[in-house]
Structure 1
Amino acid sequence: MSTVHVAVVIPAKDEAERVAATVRACRAVPRVDLVVVVDDGSTDATQDHARSAGAVTVRHSVSRGKASALETGASVVAMRDYENGPARLLLFIDADLGDSAASCAELVPPVVDGVADMAIAVPPKQAGAGGRGRVVRAARHAITSMTGWSPVAPLSGQRCLTREAYEKASPLAEGWGVEVGLSVDVLAAGLSVIEVPCDITHRVTRNDRAGQMHRAGQYRDVLLAIASRRLRRRGLRPRQFAQSLHDQQPFTAYRAY
């Protein structure tokens, strides 16, 4: 039986300070044999730092957004897959995790073992984070309203998924709606998801003007992702929804009926 390998895809914009540590941590994750960093129009030395840490790097000359960076990275992985082996699993990692990215190793076993088609990291509460949870609540409500699943961390960008799950969600939702779109599309396709606690730390978004603008952009993109999926009639039929909502349990695999 062929060994299942994992490719890490890291979208990065102006992350020169942290991306090298993130890459090194990802390279230490069991089964990872490829790390791809997509520099999404950085104005600093993000690409150079990522390459020096051992990543394959690709650069967008101008910023196209997170979803486009993930799609570029997944395309690079597909081109580098083994000719006679199974497609690599995709492990999406944010560039600012630094050394804590190693904890995302916990996301790989559920997908390798067939427990779920997509595993999502649930981080601990971040000290110093601003905001009042409005975007998280909106994202959770939107996912639940369409799939019956109520995630703990609906906006988590740390996700390990099969190539089939990725393709079911393609094209990805634009901007900061990509995570919500992934959850809805994977579940609507009849595949399963699971949340896994991971001891990861982000650079926190504070409650200053920049942080408020960031959260406003997130909120807008989440609403757009949901609106586009409603127009395409993604989601569950009423009977499926009711059964799925009744049967779910925290931190266990969830599959919509």
Structure 2
Amino acid sequence: MAPTTTRTPLTPRTPVTAVTAVIAAKDEAARIVSTISAVRGIDGVDLVVVVDDGSSDGTAALAGGAGAIVVVHPRNRGKAAAMATGAQAVADLDLREPAVSGRPRDLLFVDADLGASALNLAVLTGPVASGRADMTIAVLPPQATSGGGHGFVVRLARKGIERLTGLTPAQPLSGMRCLSRGAFEAALPLARGWGVEVGLTIDVLGAGLRVLEVPCDLQHRVSGSDWRGQFHRARQYRDVWLALAVRRLRPMARGLRAPLRGLRRLVRIRGRN
């Protein structure tokens, strides 16, 4: 049976479990404080963790001053690594300072450049907290400033996810997501770099978990059409392609394991003789 998705507008609900916002940030001094302030206003968010991924500006200091727990990568390691670092920091906090509910905190992944619009991510937390979904994905409206891309990466991601799961996502590269701890762990190890969102969708669905797409009024910075924007999209395309390739090959790898295990047993039996 093909997985289903919904794009019906949802209203925020009071979560029954705690949520930690995880913000991966690189050189976001101009927006990080307003983004943190916004997510701290979401019902159920009890902690904000910022992973400074090799910034050269004052992102880390500003984030700490705004009340976030800050983890610093001395050098840039990429989005997936920053998300993994943030999730591990939350797991460590769950051990030292368990949430009032006693459950592991849900994870709300937030782009650092959302600013005040990050408050609208509240619609993502309710379905996960109530058990309606294991992962929610924000579907953004048209942005105030259009990007300079031609949709190649989006089409690659959408078609790849559809072929592997049956789901045709509206915005396969959306980074704003809320996941239960179990859903996040089902996707480990994360796909590298900019392939992380595609990997999350495929792996969470592949684990038999529920995914909802939720319209969310967010505004963020889009990549331009200059050489920097084109270079960014080239890296995105590479990472998405790799994430899809790895997940296409997994069933083949699993199919080879049984004969290999049998061969190893045969070798051991012969060795005993």
TM (norm. structure 1) is: 0.88
Name the CA distance, whole Å, in 1 between partners of 2:43 and 2:207. 29
Name the CA distance, whole Å, in 1 between partners of 2:194 and 2:115. 21
Matches within 5 A, 1:184-199: 184-199=202-217
Q: Secondary structure at the match of 1:93?
A: strand
Name the CA distance, whole Å, in 2 between partners of 1:52 and 1:83. 24
Deviation at 1:128, TM superposition (A): 2.4
Q: Answer yes or no: is the 8 Å Cα contact 2:49–2:69 preserved in 1.
A: yes
Greater Rg, structure 1 or structure 2? 2
**Relative contact order (alpha carbons < 8 A, sep ≥ 6): 1 or 2 greater?**
2
Structure 1 unmatched ranges of 5 or more: 235-257
Name the CA distance, whole Å, in 1 between partners of 2:123 and 2:98. 27
Name the CA distance, whole Å, in 2 between partners of 1:3 and 1:115. 12
Name the CA distance, whole Å, in 2 between partners of 1:64 and 1:211. 19
Matches within 5 A, 1:37-52: 37-52=50-65
Q: Secondary structure at the match of 1:233?
A: helix
**One-letter amino acid of the structure 1 residue matched with residue 229 of structure 2:** G
Aligned to 1:215: 233
Matched, 1:123 2:136: no
**Number of corresponding residues:** 233
Q: Secondary structure at the match of 2:49?
A: strand
**One-letter amino acid of the structure 2 residue matched with residue 95 of structure 1:** A
Percent same amino acid among aligned pairs? Answer: 58
**One-letter amino acid of the structure 1 residue matched with residue 46 of structure 2:** D
Tell me which of 10, 22, 31 is aligned to 1:18.
31
Aligned to 2:8: none
Give the aligned CA root-mean-square deviation in angstroms.
1.3
**One-letter amino acid of the structure 1 residue matched with residue 160 of structure 2:** A
Name the CA distance, whole Å, in 2 between partners of 1:3 and 1:202. 29
TM (norm. structure 2) is: 0.83
Q: Secondary structure at the match of 1:11?
A: strand
Matched, 1:103 2:120: yes
Matched, 1:154 2:176: no
Between 1:201-210 and 1:174-183, the stretch displaced more is: 201-210
Structure 1 residue ranges (4+ consecutive) displaced by more than 3 angstroms after TM superposition: none
Name the CA distance, whole Å, in 1 between partners of 2:67 and 2:60. 11
Aligned to 2:67: 54
Name the CA distance, whole Å, in 1 between partners of 2:220 and 2:21. 17
**One-letter amino acid of the structure 2 residue matched with residue 61 of structure 1:** P
Q: Secondary structure at the match of 1:7?
A: strand
